[in-house]
Amino acid sequence: MKIPSLNVQILLGALFGIGLGAFFHGLGEEQPLVLNSLYVSGLVGTLFIDLLKMVLVPLVFCSIAVGIANLRKHQQIHRVWITTLLFFTFTMMIAITLGMSASLYFKPGAGMQLEMFADAMQNFEAKQMPLPEFFAHFLHGLFVNPFKALAEANVLAVVMFALILGVTLVMGGERYQNILNLLEEALEIVMRIVGWVMYLAPFGIAALLIKLVTTQDITMLSTLASFVTVVVGTTLLHGVVILPLLLLVITGKSPLWFWRGGREALITAFATSSSSATLPITMRCTTQHLHVKPEIAGFVVPLGATINMDGTALYEATAALFIANLVGVELSFVQQLIVFVTAMLASVGAPGIPSAGMVTMVMVLQSVGLPAEAIAILLPIDRMLDTLRTTVNVQGDMITSVVVQKLTTQH
């Protein structure tokens, strides 16, 4: 019998995980069979994420430094840099516009009573996060002692240091050629290790999804059905229609081609809810399946994993409007604009880890005087909604890489 390709195995692993998780959910978490299976799937799933995290930092460091060095050699750095940032901003703006328009139209939460959630809100204390402080904190976080950043897996700070290193390597020319060669070889080695980790991906993904589906409390989902529908609907619209359409118009590549090439990363993002943990696989898909040059992918993908989050931006803005409806506050046009801008900043500032968006959302709420404690209402369903928004976050990074390659390569 022919063994299916890894790509297909990963899809099967995901379907299997969701199916078995749903079955276990029906049996109930107290059953010994379910308890034992949860233990095993917890172990396998965590091991998979550990392996991805193990390669994450060396991968980001080498790929950015080498990518920047090669781009500078070819004098393309300006165009790549500007096109990437513009496209990141453009797609995040579309995402927020979608989420906010749907919220303003459907008004989720409008008829609900805030008292229903009083208990949850009482036990939740939101950390203050005013905009100026958040901004200062974000800026300070950019430049960190590289050894500390590497050891703490602080991806954004590693990205910044590697950027500077890449530029320096090229400015030094021949003098630093050895170090550049060393980094190039290190990058190749890390990508090989990623290739090995991939063999575990179908099992890791199945395990993560078994655990996720088995342990979800779905009662809250139905209480918040209108909000969930708006979030899921607009996130899907962005991921399934808008982003692929932009790809098609700008590069002429079909959505099916993209789905086939990016599937491993998209499914991993769904299962892990972490753009950072998915990053090694995103790099692999972008360079090997979507054929983006390593110097472009090496720059766009790691940067995107930390600052480009369409799904998160959409979610934060939609959630803020939902909470406004819930507490019965009518936001003025200017306040809506503030939500728009802060949601964007908050998503840029959110690290690529599970539920990070919930933490930075405090800032969005506070910027227009909404009660930050209301986040407690959304926490129980966050792990579920995070799956989809992380998938769209990662999709945005891969699509930007293909678009940037097209727009910056001369024919």
Binding site for ligand ASP (CB under 6 A): 273-275, 309, 312, 350, 352-357, 386, 389-390, 393
Closest distance of CB 357 from ligand ASP, Å: 3
Of 193, 190, 394, which is closest to residue 302 (Cα–Cα)? 394
- Beta carbon nearer to ligand ASP, 9 or 387: 387
Considering the complex, state which of residue 68 and residue 266 has its C-beta at the smaller distance from ligand ASP: 266
* Cβ at position 306, least distance to ligand ASP in Å: 9
Min separation Cβ 74 and ligand ASP, Å: 31
Amino acid occupying residue 154:
N
Q: Which is nearer to ligand ASP, 169 or 208 (CB)?
A: 208
Which residue number places its CB atom closest to ligand ASP?
357
Quick one: 183 or 399, whose CB is closer to ligand ASP? 399
Rounded distance between C-alpha atoms, residue 271 and residue 293, angstroms:
27
Exposed / middle / buried, residue 227 (Cβ in 10 Å: 0-12, 13-18, 19+):
buried
Largest interatomic CA distance in the chain: 68
Residue 153 sits at φ, ψ, to 5 deg, of 55, 45
Whole-number Cα distances in Å, 374 to 14, 286, 326, 395:
33, 38, 9, 29
**Shortest distance (Å) from residue 330 CB to ligand ASP:** 27
Neighbour count for residue 348 (Cβ, 10 Å): 19
Question: Shortest CA distance to 185 belongs to which of 66, 302, 307?
Answer: 66
* Terminal-to-terminal C-alpha distance of the chain: 45
Of the pair 272, 405, the CB lying nearest ligand ASP is at 272
Between residues 24 and 87, which has the closer beta carbon with respect to ligand ASP?
A: 87
Which lies closer to ligand ASP via its Cβ, residue 201 or residue 353?
353
CB of 356 to ligand ASP, least distance (A): 4
CB of 4 to ligand ASP, least distance (A): 28
Contacts of 408 by beta carbon, 8 Å cutoff, 6+ apart:
76, 79, 80, 83, 296
For residue 74, give the DSSP letter.
T
Q: In the complex, what is the shortest distance from the CB of residue 355 to ligand ASP, in angstroms, rounded to a whole number?
A: 5
